[in-house]
A and B are shown apart, each in its own frame.
Chain A
Amino acid sequence: MKKIIDGQRIHKSFTAEKESIKVLRDVSVTIYEGEFIAVMGPSGSGKSTLLYTLSGMDTVDSGKVAFIHHNLTECGEAELADIRRQQMGFVFQQPAFLKNLTIIDNIILPSMRDNRKQVKALTNKAQQLLERTGIGDLADRMTHQVSGGQLQRAGICRALINEPKIIFGDEPTGALNSKSAQEIMDQFLQTNQEGTTIMLVTHDAKVAAQSERVLFMKDGQIVDELQLGKLSNQAIENRTERVTKKMLQVEM
């Protein structure tokens, strides 16, 4: 299996009120192409920070992060931006959209930077993505004119527009009710089946249960890992139970 992300011995600390907090302490993670990974852990354990460092959006104090053949820890700002734009996709807990653009304009935005001339084709593609997620009729609405769940689906469409190799999600279902959350998860699963690697941070055992592998964090370290394998038709309840059990163990 080919590695897509390789993080080795990552250290990261923040200074707040003149005090240094170690947020990541010697964390190593490897993600393989096509995987669906979930990260769980108590609040403040460093999950989001790990996600941001692995995607090159935040720097590390020491250690190394590789993305395919790029060494992210040594890339410049512009190169990192290019990688993010062309090969990565992001979905955040709160829908991160430009408020003065319509939904469809927000979706094509990352791609328009390089492919302005193909605006027709891009718009068609975005429209197809929207239809597939079931919100095709909302394309021309402004972001404040749709619901949170609908916006989150649009967020996935934006993450997909450049056909990325990997999608990162930081609690993408965190602000949604369980029905909407499941709709989003279905979206992720479908995308994963089509070959895109996915890494999600979540508090929701039911969400984590649908992934292939779950990492558990505590106090800035990966303390445990659960191999679930690809989600087949086997009972989801069983998987959820295993995740919950592990979670409780970790938090003890």
Chain B
Amino acid sequence: MYLRMIRNDLLRNKLISFTTMLFITAATALVSLVSILTINLVGSIDTLTKQTQVPDFLQMHSGDLDQERLENFAAGHENVKAYQVLDFLNIIGSKIQLGDNNLIDNIQDNGFTTQSPYFDYLIDMDGQPIQPAVGELYVPIGYLKDGTAQIGEQAIIAGKEFIIAGFLRDGQMNSPLASSKRFLVNEKDYQELQSEGTLEYLIEFQLKDRSRINQFETAYAAEGLETNGPTLTSSLFKIINGLSDGIMIAIILLVGFLIVIIAFMCIRFTLLTKIEEDYREIGTMKAIGLRLADIKKIYLAKYAAVALAGCLSGLMLSFIFSDPLLANIRLYMGESQYASWSMLLAIFGSIVVFLLVIGYIHFLLRRFRTISAASALRNGSPGEKSSRKKYPFLSKNRLLPINIFLGVKDVLSRKKLYATMLIVLLLSCFIMIVPWNTYQTVSSPSFTKYLGFGELDLMVSMYPSDELTENERQVDDFLNKDATIAQVVQITSKSLKAKKEDGSEEKILVELGDHSAFPIEYNTGKAPAQPNEIALSSLNAAEFGKQVGDTIEIITENGLESFIVSGIYSNIFNGGKTAKATFTAESAPTMWLNYYIKLDNADQIAIKTEEISQALPFVKVTDTHNHKQQVFGTTMASIKTAANIALIVALFITGLVSLLFMKLLVAKDRSAIAILKAIGFTNQDLSKQYAARGIFILVIGVTGGSILANTVGETIAGMAISSFGVDALTFVSHPFIYLNFPILMLFVTLLATNLGTSQAGKIKIAENVKE
């Protein structure tokens, strides 16, 4: 008997059943997708880490290397498992030709190397270390993804011919976020290339006990070993590898969570409407002696059927959709070792969604208890009467046209009912705005300010050499003569030592110069202005345990000097550990010299880059806009895709829920509609009333959604963005988000309202005016 009742009911309310199922499907699909993606991402990163045997500690170094001293240190330190020094032969982009593509505009540090002897392998697509034959070139996987290179093409490196034999995965430099890329060649070819580039060393250690990495770092620094370059650790590699896909997963998670809530709202609304409709029947059933549990079972069974169908199709969908989404992870990092687990977890997630739905329905059905047979039969549903509000009075209204007044009044007097639609619109608005604002923020020019970069157009860099002073003079002359340069400032990065709390000395990289010229955003405090002030990157502030206003002792040429910490900023470059100050330290070793340049006309960047490179062959010119694009391009593209998907999903939800809601509302309001028609209101009047209700809720929903997006949303997005190393962030938004999105929603809502209420005109007065 139950079965027949369920079937009849489902067929009678096709739209409602279908929509409810659709939302459960979407919720399940998203929850299950998040499980699959997360497990696979984590698994793939682990696989990659294992197969390549990523070093636990990496010191980059350019300049002379004392091999013997390093070996002694490695042999003498109890925690060292393995040690090696790898070559990284940096060849400038213009000398690298891959098929038809030249890497001249590429900002990566492209280096050539041979296969590592002990660990940190460069592996092929099957996870095996590659041993290239003579004349073979293996290219970083990223260049396959962006279409720069193809297998079988010819490559010309500094005039020498190679065949692209395949692609390689690199445990530390795979991600577009890593600033270097490694190409792999045969030992013999490498020897021939050696004169064509500048050599850097990767000094690598694997540790027996990874948890004591900090002690090892300190020991290495205390030993006074080679440190001319950034220091990196294995946890950073993992973060960099996972970041792009991680953000995508975070956005799916957010949307998934909101859709679960929306599914609940739908169930709540349809179920409560149904109960209200069936109020008398429930009363009758009670009156003739049916048990409450029996009545409940009928409702529960119906929704269980819908939920089951939804969960199953959602699970199926997630299996289908996970493949394209996993493609990127698979390409960069290979198969996950937990692939089978992800299925199980996805199924588990679906079961959780199913149980949540059933539990929620149980919770909603508790109001059955309060239905008294007698009052149900006598009075009908109570919800209708008690909560009705008198205000505002029609008899006091002169302002609003009658249809708008009636629409607004209806919303005000049935707040609980409209809360459903309000919450859905609010969440939709939230889903629309937050990912877009995140994208806007990350892609805005000022975002670089949060990364520790001012808004500059070009950066001219020079590394120390014997001719440094002479070169410096040449650069100064050149830049000062150029009339198209709006502003230029020289920043010298010096390696100094600072005292820690415990009295030990730690290397600190200080950027010296005028930091007010290209201001950056400080998490707290401000730029150093006085010679006795210093600003620390957040990583350094944490390392030294300093806050704004504290003092830090640094060894300068005057001996031990105290500096006041004037500000703390975010920085992900140079290992994230930097400082900014204005004092001078002639005798301290210079790491590099940067000129920050702003042009009169930003259109001239490309030309100017070329011009400076020609005139000053010994400097490296970086187009900062291009740089940002290449570092964050992929990540931004995936955020943008996610944002667009979120936009479409939100609009779809808005439309679907509005449609459903309005349809149910019309069914519920049959008698009120009949009354209005009987006393002479036209169908058009009714349409206007429903549109007024829709717009009224929309206005509140959009306002609330925007506020929510700017508070809670900003916090959530901030947490996601903080993985870039940016800690304090204010949303950068574009006016079009707050202008166009509501208009889009308005359009969709009105369309849905119109469609949903088209039946109102067909309601027969005679049949419906009676009740």
Indicate which residue in A92, A93, A100 contacts B410 across the interface (CB closer than 8 Å): A100
CB within 8 Å of A: which B288-314 residues? none
- Chain B residues 377-415 with CB under 8 Å of chain A are 384-385, 388-390, 393-398, 401-403, 406, 409-410, 413-414
| Contact A84-B683, Cβ < 8 Å, known A113-B402, A123-B395 | no
| B384/A109 in contact, CB under 8 A | no
Name the residue on B nearest A77 (C-beta).
Answer: B683
Q: B769 near A: Cβ within 8 Å?
A: yes
Task: Name which of B127-135, B179-187, B246-254, B671-679 contacts chain A.
Answer: B671-679
Q: Does B685 contact A (CB under 8 A)?
A: yes
Q: For A90, list chain B residues within 8 Å (CB).
A: 678-679
Contacts of A57 on B, CB cut-off 8 Å? 677-678, 765-766
Q: Which residues of B have CB within 8 Å of A93?
A: 770
- Please state if A94 and B770 are interface contacts (CB–CB under 8 Å): yes
Determine whether A207 belongs to the interface, using a CB cutoff of 8 Å to chain B.
no
Are A96 and B674 in contact (CB-based, < 8 A)? yes
Interface bits A105-136 vs B (CB < 8 Å: 1, else 0): 10011101100110100110010000000000
The answer on a CB contact under 8 Å between A100 and B680 is no
Question: Is B145 engaged at the interface, CB distance under 8 Å to the other chain?
Answer: no
* Residue of A with least CB distance to B392: A105
Closest Cβ of chain B: how far from A1's Cβ, in Å?
27
Kindly state the separation between the CA atoms of A134 and B603 in the bound complex, as whole angstroms: 84
Most chain-B Cβ atoms within 10 A of its Cβ — which of A48, A85, A96?
A96
**Binary CB contact string for chain A from 168 to 194 against chain B (1 if under 8 A, 0 otherwise):** 000000000000000000000000000
Instruction: Assess the A98–B398 pair: CB atoms within 8 A.
Output: no
CA distance A93 to B771 in the complex (A): 9
> Does B681 interact with chain A (Cβ within 8 Å)?
yes
Say yes or no for A99: interface residue by CB 8 A criterion: yes
**Cα separation A48 to B678 with both chains bound (whole Å):** 14
A100-B388, A140-B390 as given contacts; A84 in contact with B769, CB under 8 Å: no
Interface flag for A86 (CB, 8 Å): yes
Q: Are A86 and B680 in contact (CB under 8 A)?
A: yes
A81 at the interface (CB under 8 A from B): yes
Report the separation of the CA atoms of residues A74 and B385 in the bound assembly, to the nearest whole angstrom: 40
- Are the CB atoms of A116 and B674 closer together than 8 Å? no
A52 to B767, CA, bound (A): 10
Q: How far is the CA of A93 from the CA of B769 in the complex (A)?
A: 9
A123 to B393, CA, bound (A): 11
A119-B395, A119-B397, A119-B398 known; A100+B765 contact, CB < 8 A: no
A127 to B146, CA, bound (A): 78
Find chain B residues with CB under 8 A from A117 CB.
Answer: 398
Task: Determine if A72 is an interface residue (Cβ-Cβ < 8 Å).
Answer: no
Of residues 59 through 92 on chain A, the ones whose CB sits less than 8 Å from some CB of chain B are: 77-78, 81-86, 88, 90, 92
Tell me whether B388 and A82 are in contact (CB under 8 A). no
A150 at the interface (CB under 8 A from B): no
Contacts of A83 in B (CB 8 A): 680
A125 to B414 CA separation, bound complex (whole angstroms): 29
B402's contact among A84, A97, A116, A140, by CB below 8 Å, is which? A116
**Quick one: CB contact mask for B679-700 with A, threshold 8 Å, 1 for yes?**
1111111000000000000000
Closest to B390 in A: A102
Q: Is A104 an interface residue (CB 8 A)?
A: yes
Is B764 an interface residue, CB under 8 A from the partner? yes
A78–B764 CB distance below 8 A:
no
Q: Which of A48, A86, A96, A102 contacts B671 (CB 8 A)?
A: A96
B384, B401, B406: the one within 8 Å of A99 (CB): B384
B residues near A82, Cβ cutoff 8 Å: 680, 682
| A21 beta carbon closer than 8 Å to chain B | no
B761 touches A (CB below 8 Å): yes
Q: Which residues in A have their C-beta under 8 angstroms from that of B676?
A: 98
Closest to A98 in B: B672
Q: Is the CB of B394 within 8 A of A81?
A: no
Q: How far is the CA of A96 from the CA of B409 in the complex (A)?
A: 18
Q: Which residue on chain B has the smallest CB distance to residue A168?
A: B678
- CB-CB nearest in chain B for A87: B680
The residue among B388, B397, B680, B771 with the most chain A CB atoms within 10 A of its own CB is B680
Q: Which residues of A contact B389 (CB under 8 A)?
A: 100
Min CB–CB distance A54 → chain B (angstroms) = 12
**In the assembled complex, A58 has its CB within 8 A of some CB on chain B:** yes
Whether A58 pairs with B395 at a CB distance below 8 angstroms is no
Q: Which of B398, B413, B671, B679 contacts A85 (CB 8 A)?
A: B679
Known: A98-B676, A99-B385. A92 touches B681 (CB 8 A): no
| Of listed B398, B684, B761, residue having the most chain A CB within 10 A | B398
Whether B414 lies near A100 (C-beta < 8 A) is: yes
Q: Is A84 touching B771 in the complex (CB atoms < 8 A)?
A: no
Question: Which of the residues B394, B401, B681, B683 comes within 8 Å of A105, measured between beta carbons?
Answer: B394
Residues on B with C-beta less than 8 A from A81 are 677, 680-683, 685
Enumerate chain A residues within 8 angstroms of B396, measured Cβ to Cβ.
119
Most buried by A among B671, B684, B765: B765
Q: Whole-angstrom distance between the alpha carbons of A160 and B482 in the complex?
A: 89
Residues of B within 8 A of A86 (CB): 680
A108: which of B394, B398, B672 is its contact (CB, 8 Å)?
B394
CA–CA, A99 to B668, complex, Å? 13
Q: For B394, B401, B676, which residue has the most chain A Cβ atoms within 10 angstroms?
A: B394
Pick the contact of A48 from B413, B674, B766 — CB < 8 Å?
A: B766
Contact A112 B765 (CB under 8 A): no
Listed A/B pairs (10) with beta-carbon separation below 8 Å: A48-B766, A52-B766, A82-B680, A86-B680, A94-B769, A98-B676, A116-B398, A116-B401, A119-B395, A140-B390
A-B residue pairs, 3 tightest by C-beta: A85-B680, A105-B394, A100-B413
Q: Give the interface of B toward A (CB within 8 A).
A: 384-385, 388-390, 393-398, 401-403, 406, 409-410, 413-414, 671-672, 674-685, 761, 764-766, 769-771
